[in-house]
Homo-oligomer: A and B are copies of this chain.
Amino acid sequence: MINLPPRTKERLIILERLLERLIEQQEDKNITSKKLSALTGWSEDTIRRDILHLNMKAGSKSGYSIVELKSAIDTALGIGNSRQKHNCCIVGLDKLGSALLENSIFENSPFTLVAGFDTNVNRIEMMKSSFPLFATLDLEIKIPAMKIEYAVLAVSDDRAQQIADRLVSAGIKGIVNYTNVILHLSKNIRVRNVNTVLMLKEMYAE
């Protein structure tokens, strides 16, 4: 995993997903920085600079080979799909949590959803899912035992901080936070806040 400048890294992650789509729809074999620019809104220069960092071999005839570019990015980011998967769980299986559980497409990603947690024991017994569901009580046991690295937090706001703390002390590395709370966690824990209103504000102020 090469050491990439932070903004480059952010863009490459987006680019990777975009290339994946392009591969799926199989319209072209190659793509130019100009087209990528139109697709992303970033300047051609920036895109070529970003690609420069991943020192691919070939390049210039009518752009980059889409497949090669994608795999170069995967390598640089350390998310090559050959490697072992990273285990994730969802905490909070209320409407949002269970919707995420179905909607989130983990296939073709280096992540696997291996567990769900909820305080409501009736609910976890009723729900059917392709992976086991546990009581939140067992969080501290199951997370290390199952080598779960990342958690999707979809509990109610009033319990968000408390559950997050427990996740951290259970050894979690990062949290995708769907609650409306800004979590206060130690600096080495990674957090991504996912929140409709936050996004709307961002767009509005853009």
Tell me whether B78 and A110 are in contact (CB under 8 A).
no
**Complex interface residues of chain A between 15 and 33 (CB less than 8 A to chain B):** 16-18, 21
Interface set of A (CB-CB < 8 Å, partner B): 1, 9-10, 12-14, 16-18, 21, 39, 41, 77-79, 86, 88, 94-96, 98-100, 102-106, 109-111, 150, 152, 173-174, 176, 178, 180-182, 184, 187, 190-192, 194-206
| Contacts A/B (CB < 8 Å), 20 sampled | A14-B182, A14-B198, A21-B181, A21-B182, A39-B182, A41-B187, A77-B201, A95-B95, A95-B103, A96-B99, A96-B103, A98-B99, A105-B180, A105-B197, A110-B201, A111-B200, A150-B200, A152-B196, A174-B203, A191-B203
* Cross-chain contact B95 with A198 (CB below 8 angstroms): no
Partner of A95, one of B98, B180, B206: B98
Contact B21 A100 (CB under 8 A): no
Q: Choose one: B110, B191, B199; the contact of A176 (CB below 8 Å).
A: B199
Min distance, Cβ A91 to any Cβ of chain B, angstroms:
13
Give complex CA distance A105, B197 in Å. 7
Copy tally for this chain in the complex stands at: 2
A181 neighbours in B (Cβ, 8 Å):
21
B contact residues around A96 at 8 Å (CB) = 96, 99-100, 102-103
- B17:A196 contact, CB within 8 angstroms: no
Q: Is the CB of A202 within 8 A of B198?
A: no
Q: Is the CB of B197 within 8 A of A109?
A: yes
Q: Is the CB of B205 within 8 A of A194?
A: no
Contact of A39 among B14, B152, B184 (CB under 8 A): B184
Smallest CB-CB A-B distances: 6 pairs: A192-B199, A95-B99, A174-B203, A190-B203, A96-B99, A104-B196
State how many angstroms separate the Cβ of A118 from the closest Cβ of chain B.
Answer: 14
